[in-house]
């Protein structure tokens, strides 16, 4: 099944100019990063996936390659250490810091299809159903509890970015451009946040 946001990439295409090489790698990087996010299933409702883009700028003596995506990509890639458990990340929730926003947790819950069960209390003496807890209050409590749990135990790293943008990619790109230019070059990647 082909997703509507999929990019078709011809990986067999042999690029001969520097601009063609960058355009080919642009398409491959966007496709690979999106596939990596889909594979780790950590981008719901898809905001990060949709934000992944790259731009190639060619001037008379300079070719630049800029990768652009939402700024929270680094937390998805490296994870976040919890207040009680470390996942090995440079990022960490602070013990006395702000809690995870309730609206963000509600979006997370809705995108994953989670829902609290409708709670009913029964008075054992009278054996009748008493007041049903308001669904919105139950949803807010559920979102709050998940947020507290995330803060305590952290967010596991996915490495969706570092598995794609790595030394192997830089070596391949450097080799392809060196062959096209017939001179040695150095490749570096920059990431810009939206």
Are residues 151 and 127 in contact, defined by beta-carbon separation less than 8 angstroms?
no
pLDDT more than 70, % of the chain: 75
* Averaged confidence pLDDT in the chain: 79
- Residue of 37, 146, 133 lying closest to 100 (CA atoms): 146
Q: What is the pLDDT of residues 8-49, one digit of tens each?
A: 556 666 666 777 888 888 888 999 999 999 898 877 677 898
Mean pLDDT, residues 170-176 taken together: 85
What are the residues facing 129 on neighbouring strands? 122
Q: Is residue 3 predicted with pLDDT exceeding 90? A: no
Are residues 42 and 158 in contact, defined by beta-carbon separation less than 8 angstroms?
yes
Quick one: pLDDT band at residue 133, thresholds 50, 70, 90? low
State the number of CA atoms in the 13 A half-sphere of 18 facing the CB: 19
Q: What is the pLDDT of residues 135-152, one digit of tens each?
A: 778 888 889 999 999 999
Q: Is residue 178 predicted with pLDDT exceeding 90? A: no
Q: ∠111-75-140 over CA atoms, to 5°?
A: 40
pLDDT more than 90, % of the chain: 27
Compute CA 123 distance to the chain's CA centroid, rounded to the nearest angstrom.
Answer: 47
The pTM assigned to this predicted structure is 0.71
Beta strands (DSSP E) in 26-161 are: 53-58, 63-69, 120-123, 128-132
pLDDT of residue 73: 92
pLDDT of residue 109: 83
Q: Is residue 7 predicted with pLDDT exceeding 50? A: yes
Q: What is the pLDDT of residues 60-96, one digit of tens each?
A: 666 677 889 999 899 999 999 999 999 999 999 998 8
pLDDT of residue 80: 94
């Amino acid at each position: 099944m082909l997703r509507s946001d999929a990019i078709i990439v011809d990986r067999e295409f042999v690029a001969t100019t520097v601009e063609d090489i960058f355009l080919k790698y642009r398409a491959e990087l966007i496709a690979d990063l999106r596939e990596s996010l889909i594979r780790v299933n950590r981008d719901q409702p898809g905001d990060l996936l949709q934000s992944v883009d790259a731009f190639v700028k060619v001037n008379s003596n300079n070719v630049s390659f800029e990768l652009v995506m939402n700024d929270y990509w680094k937390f998805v890639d490296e994870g976040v250490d919890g207040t009680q458990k470390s996942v090995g990340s440079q990022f960490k929730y602070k013990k006395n810091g702000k809690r995870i926003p309730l609206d963000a947790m509600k979006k997370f819950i809705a995108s994953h299809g989670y829902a609290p069960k409708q709670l009913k209390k029964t008075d054992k003496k009278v054996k009748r159903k008493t007041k049903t807890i308001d669904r919105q209050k139950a949803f807010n409590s559920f979102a709050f509890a998940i947020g507290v749990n995330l803060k305590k135990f952290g967010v596991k790293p996915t490495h969706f970015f570092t598995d794609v943008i790595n030394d192997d990619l830089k070596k391949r790109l450097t080799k392809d451009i060196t062959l096209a230019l017939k001179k040695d070059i150095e490749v570096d990647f920059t990431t810009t946040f939206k």
